């Protein structure tokens, strides 16, 4: 993968929390990829690939960071429930 290098400035006080250059780099990468995923600009599979992890590990990362993997609106959720109820009713016939 071709890479580009950026320089960022962080306060020295972050070092007291155990931040190293590598940790900062990883956090920035995670933040960028999680942002792209939340904006629906990349899929979970692409996000996992960019982070060098598998899709299940990415889903676990979402959970660890408090992000929803499935994020339905109220209307979408109502449609899903209605479809499930119709399917269940059709199987009873």
Examine residue 19 and state whether it is found in any structural domain, yes or no: yes
Examine residue 89 and state whether it is found in any structural domain, yes or no: no
Number of domains in the chain: 1
C-beta of residue 51 within 8 angstroms of C-beta of residue 29:
yes
For residues 36 and 43, what is the distance between their CA atoms, to the nearest angstrom? 9
Higher confidence at residue 13 or residue 92? Answer: 13
pLDDT reported for residue 11: 86
Average pLDDT over residues 64-71: 81
Examine residue 16 and state whether it is found in any structural domain, yes or no: yes
Examine residue 79 and state whether it is found in any structural domain, yes or no: no
Average pLDDT over residues 27-32: 94
pLDDT at 84 over 80: yes
Examine residue 4 and state whether it is found in any structural domain, yes or no: no
CA angle 84, 61, 41 (to 5 degrees): 70
> What is the span of the domain harbouring residue 64?
12-68
Average pLDDT over residues 27-54: 94
pLDDT at 56 over 90: yes
Examine residue 7 and state whether it is found in any structural domain, yes or no: no
pTM: predicted TM-score of the whole model, two decimal places? 0.69
pLDDT reported for residue 71: 65
Examine residue 91 and state whether it is found in any structural domain, yes or no: no
Q: Output helix, strand, coil percentages for the chain, rounded to the nearest 5.
A: 65, 0, 35
């Amino acid at each position: 993968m071709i890479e580009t290098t950026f320089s960022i400035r962080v306060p020295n006080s972050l070092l007291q929390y155990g931040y190293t250059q590598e940790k900062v780099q990883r956090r920035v990468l995670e933040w960028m990829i999680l942002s792209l995923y939340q904006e629906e600009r990349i899929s979970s599979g692409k996000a996992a690939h960019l982070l060098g992890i598998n899709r299940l590990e990415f889903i676990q990362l979402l959970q660890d960071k408090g992000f929803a993997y499935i994020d339905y609106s109220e209307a979408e959720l109502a449609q899903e429930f209605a479809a499930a109820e119709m399917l269940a009713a059709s199987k009873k016939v």
